[in-house]
């Protein structure tokens, strides 16, 4: 009993740290967006001046640089759920900063049985793990696929990333984490949330790709 309470406290502390990290990432993303919007008027004035002076090569170069900057802060995915949008887009931004190709398709209802915090813990943990695994690969080989949608009365989530190993090994029926400490608590937390809502979770490692699938009744 005492041991279980100690584990519960460590998990709660991990969740608190994780949410602080997620909020910081989301806030950073929106600060970049606000900064770009603040500079919008200056960009327009600069382009107009270049056009008036018929410096078309400079206009093209300026627009190209603006496009690059905007791609780093653009909200690339709109799921229909504000909290999910925030955490997924912050992680996609982080992945792109690490030259990881992301293929994301998601449609999430606004109202769900799962709380916003629990949803963000699941998504945040699984994408953090996928990013950590991806950066170990050579650039050009890095890939994460996200697929989330309602299937009848359940929320289905699938996260796939390429891995450096052909196939990960299980220990006592569980895939062993490549890191110790909080990383292990992250996986434990995901499992406990899925169990809390009477859902199902499966993990598979095949042909150099690792996939986690989750089904949560709604």
The ranges assigned to domains in the chain are: 77-217
CA–chain centroid gap for 89, Å, is 6
CATH of 77-217, one of 3.30.565.10, 3.40.50.2000, 3.40.50.720, 3.60.15.10: 3.30.565.10
Q: Determine how many CB atoms are found less than 10 A away from the CB of residue 34.
A: 11
Give 91-148 pLDDT, tens digit per residue.
888 888 889 999 999 999 888 999 888 898 899 889 989 999 999 999 999 999 999 9
Task: Name residues whose C-beta falls within 8 Å of residue 57's C-beta, 6 or more positions apart in sequence.
Answer: none
Nearest to 208 by CA among 170, 176, 163: 163
CB 202 within 8 A of CB 213: yes
Quick check: pTM over 0.85?
no
**pLDDT score, position 181:** 46
String of DSSP letters for 110-151: SS-SS-HHHHHHHHHHHHHHHHHHHTTSPTTS-EEEEEEEEE
Give, for 58, the enclosing helix (H) or strand (E).
Answer: helix 56-73
Average pLDDT over residues 205-214: 90
- Provide the pLDDT confidence category of residue 182 given band limits of 50, 70 and 90: very low
| Confidence (pLDDT) at 21 | 60
């Amino acid at each position: 009993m005492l041991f279980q309470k100690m584990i519960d406290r460590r998990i709660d502390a991990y969740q608190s740290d994780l949410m602080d990290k997620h909020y910081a990432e989301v806030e950073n993303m929106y600060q970049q967006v606000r900064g770009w919007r603040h500079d919008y008027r200056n960009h327009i004035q600069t382009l107009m001046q270049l056009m008036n002076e018929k410096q078309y090569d400079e206009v093209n170069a300026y627009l190209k640089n603006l496009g690059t900057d905007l791609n780093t802060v653009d909200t690339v995915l709109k799921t229909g759920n504000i909290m999910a949008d925030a955490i997924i887009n912050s992680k996609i931004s982080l992945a792109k900063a690490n030259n990881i190709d992301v293929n994301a398709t998601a449609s999430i209802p606004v109202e769900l049985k799962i709380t916003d915090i629990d949803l963000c813990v699941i998504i945040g943990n699984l994408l953090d793990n996928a990013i950590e695994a991806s950066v170990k690969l050579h650039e050009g080989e890095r890939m994460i696929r996200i697929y989330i949608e309602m299937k009848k009365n359940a929320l289905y989530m699938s996260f796939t990333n390429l891995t450096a190993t052909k196939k990960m090994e299980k220990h006592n029926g569980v895939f062993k984490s490549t890191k110790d400490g909080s990383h292990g608590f992250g996986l434990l937390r995901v499992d406990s949330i899925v169990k809390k809502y009477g859902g199902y979770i499966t993990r598979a490692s095949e042909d150099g790709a690792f996939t986690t699938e989750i089904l949560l009744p709604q």
